[in-house]
């Protein structure tokens, strides 16, 4: 019998779903509230949606953007575009003007699928006002809307038995463009292929011994590989189920535990919020066999707290990037708690890892350098950014992660620091340059610098230093409002500190390493 990794080689996402629907049509795939969606249900919905999208002019290679909370319809759109060979451009519902205009324009998206409302934000008037800046978007379709611009109207009249267009979908075809912020402030669209997404999902499922009996918590957003690959993709290749949440909240997790979750996936912030929740304290976690922590190292104290509350399950770190389509490094099953708390694990099957110096030369085991990985899960580059792709992915396929790490003699990897200025707030990567570009747009700002500082709730949060322009007075509330209009909320700095000057290097660059928050 082939391994999970072997079972997806040479396959496409649509083909794997069709295989699952044929082999176990009544097996549950998605639990969402009171709804249970089987593999056969998802296959039928995806077939109908692909027919509707095709009738609307979407074909092989076309980009379709989606900005919506986690839902079955989100996944239907994912599998439908995969069937057509179209490319799904995944946007976060917390994105605002700057992110929408840039990402929709840079990806060349022809259609946008969007929630009407998310988190109290109304998208219809927002997108109506933004329309002049989105000339390439030919059509906006709203989930939940009843009219002609609604998702149900787009797919309602389509024939679910109609075969997909004749265009052949290949494993190396792009399936998803997932944006990751860039060090220069411009987000980069990691181009994830059918093959890379399935490879990461299968390697994870094999390392975690996932089976059709597993129910994985789906609380991470689908515009992130943590939700799309680590939860849904791994369950798909293993034939298991996902207890899907529209967003993370401890109370929603409590409700989902009634589904018998066996695998919890989250970032440290999520676990801290769960452990602090009074309602979660009474949950039955007897079926939970595995707790997975991604986003940053699992601290020893938190590891012990999770072990105690969940009744002694296997704990595992999961390290991955947008550029690796999901997981590429995971703690082995037999790693003791002390090793899980001090390393991120070892590379997965079909993944190589190495530590290199600034010249790109591999360093001896135990010495620090930049972590590089290569393998079947690595993305095809950045969408329409050849220079950035060449710099990050390398001529021999080695992906530069930007993380400084060490590797032990037995292959365990420990992250020491970040080579880039990025910090992580609540599981989301934040690149200061993107925020600094927004701050610099205010004529009252002469110079700015943003750093990540420790935060008890989110791990890290943003702290901005702003130098006023000569003769100007900075309106701090107005500057924060500008950030909220232009950026996702998690990128908005927690504090803006007005200072007379910033420390500079002889070359004229800001010395961020010496910046410290005011007491």
Among 226, 168, 215, residue whose Cα is nearest residue 194 = 168
Mean pLDDT, residues 442-464 taken together: 90
Mean pLDDT, residues 371-391 taken together: 96
Mean pLDDT, residues 134-142 taken together: 97
Task: Give the count of alpha carbons within 13 A of 459, CB side only.
Answer: 23
Give the 3-state secondary structure of residue 148.
coil
Mean pLDDT, residues 422-443 taken together: 85
The pair of structure tokens assigned to 467 is 């130098």
Task: Give the count of alpha carbons within 13 A of 192, CB side only.
Answer: 30
Domains detected in the chain = 12-26+39-194 (3.40.50.980), 423-514 (3.30.300.30)
431: DSSP letter: -
Strand partners, 91: 67
Confidence of residue 182 (pLDDT cuts 50, 70, 90): low
Please state which of the ranges 104-108, 356-360, 379-383, 430-434 shows the lowest mean pLDDT.
430-434
Check pLDDT > 90 for residue 303.
no
Q: In Å, how far are 42, 43, 238, 239, 390 from 26, measured between CA atoms?
A: 11, 11, 15, 11, 45
Task: Give the pLDDT confidence score for residue 385 in this predicted structure.
Answer: 95
Mean pLDDT, residues 195-218 taken together: 98
Taking all residues of the chain, what is their mean pLDDT, rounded to a whole number?
A: 92
Q: Tell me the pTM.
A: 0.86
The pair of structure tokens assigned to 123 is 């998208």
Confidence of residue 163 (pLDDT cuts 50, 70, 90): low
């Amino acid at each position: 019998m082939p391994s999970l990794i072997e079972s997806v080689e040479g396959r496409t996402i649509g083909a794997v779903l069709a295989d699952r629907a044929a082999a176990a049509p009544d097996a549950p795939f998605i639990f969402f509230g009171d709804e249970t969606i089987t593999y056969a249900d998802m296959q039928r919905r995806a077939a109908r949606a692909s027919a509707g999208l095709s009738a609307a002019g979407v074909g092989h290679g076309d980009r379709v953007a989606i900005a919506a909370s986690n839902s079955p319809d989100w996944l239907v759109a994912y599998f439908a575009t995969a069937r057509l060979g179209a490319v799904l451009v995944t946007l976060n519902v917390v994105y605002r003007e700057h992110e929408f205009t840039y990402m929709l324009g840079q990806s060349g998206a022809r259609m946008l699928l969007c929630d009407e409302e998310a988190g109290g934000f109304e998208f219809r008037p927002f997108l109506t006002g933004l329309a002049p800046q989105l000339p390439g978007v030919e059509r906006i379709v709203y989930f939940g809307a009843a009219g002609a611009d609604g998702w149900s109207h787009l797919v309602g009249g389509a024939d679910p038995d109609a075969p997909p267009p004749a265009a052949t979908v290949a494993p190396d075809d792009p399936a998803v463009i997932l944006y990751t912020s860039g060090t220069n402030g411009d987000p980069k669209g990691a181009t994830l292929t059918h093959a890379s997404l399935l490879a990461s999902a299968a390697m994870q499922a094999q390392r975690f011994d996932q089976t059709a009996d597993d129910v994985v918590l789906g609380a991470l957003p689908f515009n992130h590989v943590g939700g799309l690959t680590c939860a849904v993709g791994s369950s798909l290749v293993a034939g298991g189920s996902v207890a899907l949440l529209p967003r993370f909240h401890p109370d929603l997790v409590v409700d989902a535990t009634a589904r018998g979750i066996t695998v919890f996936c989250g970032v440290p912030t999520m676990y801290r919020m769960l452990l602090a929740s009074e309602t979660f304290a009474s949950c039955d976690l007897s079926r939970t066999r595995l707790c997975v922590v991604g986003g940053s190292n699992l601290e020893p104290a938190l590891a012990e707290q999770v072990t105690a509350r969940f009744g002694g399950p296997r704990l595992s770190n999961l390290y991955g990037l947008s550029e690796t389509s999901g997981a590429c490094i995971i703690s082995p099953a037999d790693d003791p708690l002390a090793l899980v708390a001090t390393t991120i694990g070892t590379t997965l099957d079909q993944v190589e890892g190495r530590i290199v110096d600034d010249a790109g030369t591999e360093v001896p085991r135990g010495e620090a350098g930049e972590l590089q990985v290569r393998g079947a899960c690595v993305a095809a580059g950045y969408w329409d950014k050849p220079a950035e792709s060449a710099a990050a992915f390398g001529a021999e396929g080695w992906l530069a992660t930007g993380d400084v790490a060490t590797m032990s003699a037995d292959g365990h990897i420990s992250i020491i620091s970040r080579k880039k200025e990025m910090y992580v707030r609540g599981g989301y990567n934040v690149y200061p340059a993107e925020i600094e570009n927004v701050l610099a747009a205010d004529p009252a700002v002469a110079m700015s610098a943003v750093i990540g500082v420790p935060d008890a709730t989110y791990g890290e949060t943003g702290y901005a230093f702003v130098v006023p322009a000569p003769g100007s007075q900075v309106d701090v509330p107005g500057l924060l409002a500008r950030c909220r209009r232009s950026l996702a909320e998690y990128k908005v700095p927690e504090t803006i500190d007005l200072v007379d000057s910033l420390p500079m290097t002889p070359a004229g660059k800001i010395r961020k390493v010496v910046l410290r928050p005011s007491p």
